[in-house]
Amino acid sequence: MSDSVKPGEWIDTERGFISREIFVSPEVHRQELNKLFTRAWLFVGHESQVPKPGDFFQSRMGDESVILCRDKAMQLHVFLNSCRHRGMKVCRYDSGNTSLFTCPYHSWTYGLDGKLLGVPQFRELYQGTLDKDANSLVTVGRMHNYKGAVFATWDPGAPDFLTWLGGAVEHLDMVLDCRDGRPGGSEVIGVHKWIFPANWKFAAENFLGDTYHNISHRSVDLIGIGPSARAGATGRRDNEMDQAKHIWAGFPAGHGVHSAILPEGNEYIPSFLSDPIVEEYFRHCFYERRRRMGEKARMIPFTGNLFPNVSFHGRQPRNLCNWHPHSATETEGWRFFLVDADAPAEVKDFLRRYYMRYSGPAGMTEQDDMENWLYATAASKGSVARRYPFNYQQSLGKWEATGEGGSNAWQVSEQNPRNYYRVWAEYLKGSPWDVLVGGPQAKAAAE
Ligand code: FES
Ligand SMILES: [Fe+2]
């Protein structure tokens, strides 16, 4: 590791200070690509984006292009989108259907499982020296399809996906399950992609549960752009959040969520009064979910971030987001919008319009967030600004340790980002798996 990279010194989660270096330094960015994005589980895409044999979706892991692809036997694969000959992208389309990936440069040809199948003039020019198996496309170290969401890591030694997820699983479930509580069954109805000049961690941190920044959305709240067209934050989000007890939960692998627990015996709140079909759908889902899940149905999701760069909204708008790092000060955001696959067309259409109003480069709410992230990045680059760390002292000490090395906070809190950056430092030091359930640090924290 370079002498200029000092994760231990920069992250002081005991006192609540974090150096601005980690948000602006090109050297830190390089280390993140080398040590963090090559090891962590990353979200690649949703199986609903590749439903048929030969379907592919060009995705990213860190700064690298990858292909999510379904082969003829319906198996999913994730491999590096870079030819083994001279590195040309073997796929230049965002998505589509194919039977082969033929490299545009010299026409090496790969199968849907990434295997090298064809090499022009193979016998004459390579004289039996070229090992096709050894020159297949580079595949990920591990892959896991969780309720349709495909995650992958380059590290074959990474813990299995569910161990890494830990207790965050019940919060991710609320994103991926149908609104009526049936497991899975969601589909992606579109992906927003856009680039903004901010460090990627500003976006990730926002979803760890930065409820403190709600004032940023005051103008949106005043005009009532939510599904109900009511003014106020509840109108923007259209949910029962106002009545609920809120929880900010952190997990050993660095994940953090902001979810909420509804009061006992609460009833559905009409939210889509301008559209009777949509209103009826969500009313039905509310009571069906309660019937299926009982007391567990009182937990509802708001936002979360799976370490390092996979954020989600669990409710309205419902989506998974990737914050792809371009540089220390530039990020490409991808939002994968989710709906119940078997929802009526009217419901899907209503949600699609609402999602576009809320999120992405033209979304009224996300514009507010991005403005904060990009000015905060720009104003932290200067030599003087970099001498002064960011303050993370909010609700310091006001949280409970969970048995498995995580934390629960019951008031607006920066405990989740403190936990996140503690884990971030472990990746840069090279020992990220120690903090997981059963790892030495998790055991020490639980004692
Ligand atoms: S770079 Fe792909 S065949 Fe040469
Ligand atoms: Fe926000």
Could you list the pLDDT tens digit for every one of the 447 residues in the chain?
A: 444 668 778 999 999 999 999 999 999 999 999 999 999 999 999 999 999 999 999 999 999 999 999 999 999 999 999 999 999 999 999 999 999 999 999 999 999 999 999 999 999 999 889 999 999 999 999 999 999 999 999 999 999 999 999 999 999 999 999 999 999 999 999 999 999 999 999 999 999 999 999 899 888 888 777 766 676 666 666 567 778 999 999 999 999 999 999 999 889 988 888 889 999 999 999 999 999 999 999 999 999 999 999 999 998 899 999 999 999 999 999 999 999 999 999 999 999 998 988 888 888 888 899 999 999 999 999 999 999 999 999 999 999 999 888 999 999 999 999 999 999 999 999 988 887 756 666 666 655
Residues 73 and 202 in one domain: no
Task: Report the distance separating Cα 186 and Cα 87, nearest Å.
Answer: 35
Residues 219 and 320 in one domain: yes
- Does residue 337 lie in a domain region? yes
Residues 284 and 176 in one domain: yes
Residues 284 and 415 in one domain: yes
- Does residue 390 lie in a domain region? yes
Domain enclosing residue 379, as ranges? 168-446
Q: In a mutational test of the pocket of ligand 1, which residue from 65, 81, 84, 85 has the highest number of ligand atoms less than 8 Å from its CB? A: 85
- By the 10 Å C-beta count (0-12 exposed, 13-18 middle, 19+ buried), 44 is classed as buried
Residues 435 and 398 in one domain: yes
Task: List the CATH number of the domain containing 61.
Answer: 2.102.10.10
Residue 27 identity: E
Residues 172 and 139 in one domain: no
CB-CB contact of 176 with 338 (8 Å)? yes
Q: How far is the CA of 98 from the centre of ligand 1 (A)?
A: 18
Task: Report the distance separating Cα 143 and Cα 74, nearest Å.
Answer: 15
Q: How far is the CA of 130 from the centre of ligand 1 (A)?
A: 14
Residues 257 and 181 in one domain: yes
- Please state the length of the chain: 447
pTM above 0.85, yes or no: yes
Helix (H, G, I), strand (E, B) or coil at 338: strand
- Does residue 6 lie in a domain region? no
- In 10 A of CB 382, how many CB atoms? 11
Residue reference for tokens 């309205």: 316
Q: In a mutational test of the pocket of ligand 1, which residue from 106, 132, 138 has the highest number of ligand atoms less than 8 Å from its CB? A: 106
